[in-house]
Amino acid sequence: AQSVTQLGSHVSVSEGALVLLRCNYSSSVPPYLFWYVQYPNQGLQLLLKYTTGATLVKGINGFEAEFKKSETSFHLTKPSAHMSDAAEYFCAVSSDSSYKLIFGSGTRLLVRP
């Protein structure tokens, strides 16, 4: 069975600081990994995804994530936080054996002025 763990339900950073949101997954088969962002009262928007190939994936709004198989991690980073980045972030996993997405519990990013 697949699962996703997001460490830290809340992360607070200052504007301009590095953003690091952690995601670890469990999967017995090669995973497909996704990061989605959700703004209040809205649906989810895809930030980036990893399927195969290059392990460093660049997404929208300056975000990127690196797939590390040895660490079963897919952490999301952004060099410099912006106030507009404040939102809920979800990591998700699927695989060749299932197109269903398994979501982590989410991390709320707060950006301080």
Partner 1 sequence: GAVVSQHPSWVICKSGTSVKIECRSLDFQATTMFWYRQFPKQSLMLMATSNEGSKATYEQGVEKDKFLINHASLTLSTLTVTSAHPEDSSFYICSASSGQVGETQYFGPGTRLLVL
Give residues with Cβ within 8 angstroms of 81, minimum separation 6.
13, 14, 15, 16, 17, 18, 19, 109, 111
Give residues with Cβ within 8 angstroms of 87, minimum separation 6.
37, 38, 39, 40, 108, 109
Nearer to partner 1, 18 or 60 (CB): 60
The binder of partner 1 chosen from 46, 71, 80, 112 (CB under 8 A):
46
- Segment interacting with partner 1, rule: CB under 8 A, options 15-23, 62-70, 79-87, 104-112: 104-112
- Report 13-32 residues binding partner 1 (CB under 8 A): 32
Binding site for partner 1 (CB under 8 A): 32, 34, 36, 41-46, 49, 51, 90, 94-101, 103-106
